[in-house]
Amino acid sequence: MSATPPLPRWADLVLLPLINLAAALFVCGVIVWFIGENPFDALAVMFKGAFYLFPDSLGYTLYYTTNFIFTGLAVGIAFHAMMFNIGGEGQAYVAGLGAAAAGLVVAPYVPAIVAIPISVATAALFGAAWAFIPGYLQAKRDSHIVITTIMFNFLATALMVWLLAGPMIQPGQQSPQSSLIAASAFLPTMKDMLALVGIEIAASPLNLAFIIALLAMLVYYILVWKTRLGYEIRAVGKSQEAAKYAGINVPRVIIITLAISGAFAGLLATNEILGVNHRAVLNFTAGYGFTGIAVALMGRNHPIGIFLAALLFGALIQGGSELDFEFKTITREMVLLIQGMIILFSGALAYMFNPPLARFLARVLPGKGGNDD
């Protein structure tokens, strides 16, 4: 009967994600307490481990964060068009092929100033192409995007295994990986870049891709809220009927949105392939594509929110491994459980606390005359 009162915007954007996070940490704390450790000690170790326990702690955290930013943006942009892109994993994987191909074929003949942009662009392009097909199938053939993007994850895996164990395998090697790409396509590490301006930091995998991720956030923001295309994407997402009335070509917008989403996911390959591995390897996507869904949900599809959520998940990986070292009883599986809890509470159950919180706030806050329609 009584409908849920609307949640104030600030509560939806800030309070609700924090409550979700607190709930997840509480459940984890109880579990940690059950296995005989002090939950507060564990939390402290995780925090220190993620940010300042060792000189390279923060570098590692931000390196993981980079991946989550890319996949979070990918899921987020598709959400704006009400499309559920679950294929970030596959799109990033195929983008790795693009990055490696550019690094192997083009980069040997050009300097870094040319090789890096081309390799980055190729990665984005391959990711976009891999998302374009499900986008096309959704827009023109009504094939559900959730199903097709999942399928395309499997296709990407099969394709990459075949390529890396077959045509692309490094000559004379048994392990399924490509040859090293040309050094001109290596993304410079943060340590090297900061050294140029005289700042000394510890070595870590953190590289130029982090800067690319920050730029991607800016592009995302401008695209969604400041451009015609972004307007059309949001119109399609909010009301396809009204979009049609407005003369917006709905199938076209869906296809373009998915391609952009794939491009964001594809940029993950710049961090992993161009920045760290320097060759195409198996399974470098490591689930980042899927966690991107939780990142986007938690970040409310806004770049700032996505950044904060990505930072959280990055810190969880880095701080989690520290937890594994410090406590005998807390194993790697335990760390996975904590990550799972956070995904559960801020992803799957993201709106669980919405109704009670809304009712509570409606009672506590002075009546501001709800919507009058």
Partner 1 sequence: MSAATQNPTSGQNAARIALELKDVSKSFGLVRANRDINLKIEKGTIHGIIGENGAGKSTLMNILYGLHRADAGQMYVNEAEVSIRSSADAISQGIGMVHQHFMLVNMFSVLENVMLGSEGGSLLKDGKKATLKTLQHLADNYGMTVDPYALISDLNVGMRQRVEIIKALKGGADILILDEPTGVLTPQETKQLFEILNVLREDGVTILLITHKLAEIMEITDNVSIMRAGQMVGHRHTADTNPQELAELMVGRKVLLSVDKGAAKPGEVLLKVNNLEIYHERGHKELDDVSFEVRGGEIFGIAGVSGNGQTPLMEILAGMRVPSAGSFEVLGATVSKGTPKGPKEMRNMGVGHIPEDRHVHGLILDFEARENMILGFQDADVAGADFLFDSASITQHCQEQMDHYDVRPANPFLHAHSFSGGNQQKIVIAREMYEKPRVLIVGQPTRGVDVGAIEFIHKQLIALRDAGCAIVLVSVELEEVMGLADRIMVMNDGQKVGIVDAKDADTNTLGLMMAGLTSGEAA
DSSP string, 178-224: PPPPPGGGSPPBHHHHHHHTT------S-BHHHHHHHHHHHHHHHHH
The residue (of 142 and 373) whose beta carbon lies closer to partner 1 is 373
The residue (of 232 and 322) whose beta carbon lies closer to partner 1 is 232
CA distance 141 to 130: 17
- Size of the residue set binding partner 1 (CB under 8 A): 25
Indicate whether 222 belongs to the interface with partner 1 (CB under 8 A): yes
* 3-state SS, residue 226: helix
CA distance 304 to 137: 31
Report whether 4 contacts 360 (CB < 8 A): no
| Residues in contact with partner 1, shown as a per-residue x/- string from 173 to 212 under the rule CB under 8 A | ----------------------------------------
Indicate whether 231 belongs to the interface with partner 1 (CB under 8 A): yes
Q: Which stretch binds partner 1 (CB under 8 A): 24-32, 67-75, 233-241, 257-265?
A: 233-241
User: Smallest distance, Å, CB 343 to partner 1?
Assistant: 27
The residue (of 111 and 247) whose beta carbon lies closer to partner 1 is 247
Q: Please choose, from the candidates 187, 252, 267, 186, the residue with its C-alpha nearest in 3D space to the C-alpha of residue 219.
A: 267
Q: Please choose, from the candidates 344, 356, 355, the residue with its C-alpha nearest in 3D space to the C-alpha of residue 23.
A: 344
User: Smallest distance, Å, CB 251 to partner 1?
Assistant: 12
Q: Among 26, 33, 154, 245, which residue interacts with partner 1 (rule: CB under 8 A)?
A: 245
User: Smallest distance, Å, CB 368 to partner 1?
Assistant: 11
CA distances from residue 12 to 347, 352, 361, 366 in whole angstroms, order as listed: 14, 12, 11, 18
Q: Among 111, 167, 247, 367, which residue interacts with partner 1 (rule: CB under 8 A)?
A: 247
Start-to-end CA span in the chain (Å) = 17
Structural Rg of the chain based on CA atoms: 22
The residue (of 176 and 303) whose beta carbon lies closer to partner 1 is 303
User: Smallest distance, Å, CB 369 to partner 1?
Assistant: 10
Q: 263 CB contacts (<8 Å, ≥6 apart)?
A: 74, 124, 125, 127, 128, 131
Indicate whether 333 belongs to the interface with partner 1 (CB under 8 A): no
CA distance 322 to 342: 18
Indicate whether 4 belongs to the interface with partner 1 (CB under 8 A): no
User: Smallest distance, Å, CB 234 to partner 1?
Assistant: 7
Indicate whether 367 belongs to the interface with partner 1 (CB under 8 A): no
Q: Among 10, 111, 196, 241, which residue interacts with partner 1 (rule: CB under 8 A)?
A: 241
Q: Given the rule CB under 8 A, which residues bind partner 1? A: 3, 222, 226-232, 234-235, 238-239, 241-249, 371-373
